[in-house]
């Protein structure tokens, strides 16, 4: 199985990669500023699950196909970008309802929807797919066999670290949001700004070139 040295090296690499804000972090921050801590943390959980689905795909070969195929890479990238733009437009459309959203709402349908949004963004993040396809094979012990199992273990470590660090981002951003909660006008501006940020994120993802 994967050696202790390999696990340590991968963990350090994962922390560095996750700590640098990317699509998932920016999306989480936008959600925290737009709809608050609860939904942001649920988004983090959904995103971590989506990222781990990428790990499963890479472990069994799909990630290599996406990493090598321009068509597959482009499709995944554009689908993810389109979904982010859609969420941004929805946030702008409903920005005046932010005062009601600020009140805690707990029901199964809403929770499921927020988790789904995070899951979709995590699955459709091509940057993560390319990272896993390029990095995971470098941190496994090929001579020990069970390579897919080793990749799944490394992926679980990555998802766990992402869950912790992204939760910190979500908590911090939602704390800043609290200052806006005292004014419906501030919340409307905040909702619109969060929507614009998500649209910008989606557009950036769409025009981002394929890594070499």
Q: What pLDDT is recorded for position 50?
A: 93
Q: Residue 192: inside a domain, yes or no?
A: yes
Name the packing angle between helices 70-93 and 108-123 (round to 10°): 140
Domain span holding position 47: 4-11+21-207
pLDDT digit string, tens, across residues 149-184: 888 999 999 999 999 999 998 998 888 776 766 666
Q: What pLDDT is recorded for position 132?
A: 82
Q: What pLDDT is recorded for position 195?
A: 76
Q: pTM here?
A: 0.70
Q: Residue 16: inside a domain, yes or no?
A: no
Question: Dihedrals φ, ψ of 105, to 5°?
Answer: -130, 125
Q: What pLDDT is recorded for position 205?
A: 66
User: How many structural domains comprise the chain?
Assistant: 1
pLDDT beneath 70: ranges in the chain: 1-2, 20-22, 62-68, 73, 76, 80, 95-109, 126-127, 130, 142, 178, 180-184, 186-187, 190-191, 194, 201, 205, 208-212
Q: Residue 152: inside a domain, yes or no?
A: yes
Contact 36, 183 (CB under 8 A): no
DSSP letter for each residue of 27-92: HHHHHHHHH-HHHHHHHHHHHHHHHHHHHHHHHTTHHHHHHH-HHHHHHHHHHHHHHHHHHHHHHH
Q: Residue 212: inside a domain, yes or no?
A: no
Q: Residue 180: inside a domain, yes or no?
A: yes
Contact 193, 33 (CB under 8 A): yes
């Amino acid at each position: 199985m994967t050696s202790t040295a390999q696990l340590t090296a991968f963990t350090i690499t994962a922390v560095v990669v996750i700590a640098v804000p990317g699509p998932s972090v920016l999306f989480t921050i936008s959600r925290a500023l737009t709809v608050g801590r609860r939904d942001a943390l649920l988004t983090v959980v959904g995103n971590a699950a989506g990222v781990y689905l990428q790990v499963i795909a890479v472990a069994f070969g799909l990630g290599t196909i996406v990493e090598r195929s321009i068509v597959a890479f482009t499709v995944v990238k554009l689908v993810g970008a389109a979904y982010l733009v859609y969420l941004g437009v929805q946030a702008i459309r409903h920005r005046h309802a932010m005062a009601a959203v600020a009140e805690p709402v707990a029901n199964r349908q809403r929770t499921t929807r927020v988790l789904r949004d995070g899951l979709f963004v995590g699955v459709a993040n091509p940057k993560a797919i390319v990272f896993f396809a390029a990095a995971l094979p470098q941190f496994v012990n090929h001579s020990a066999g069970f390579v897919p199992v080793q990749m799944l273990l490394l992926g679980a470590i990555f998802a766990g670290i992402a869950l912790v660090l992204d939760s910190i981002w979500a908590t911090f951003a939602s704390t800043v949001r609290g200052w806006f909660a005292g004014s419906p006008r501030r919340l409307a501006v905040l909702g619109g700004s969060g929507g614009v940020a998500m649209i910008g994120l989606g557009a950036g993802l769409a025009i981002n070139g394929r890594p070499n």
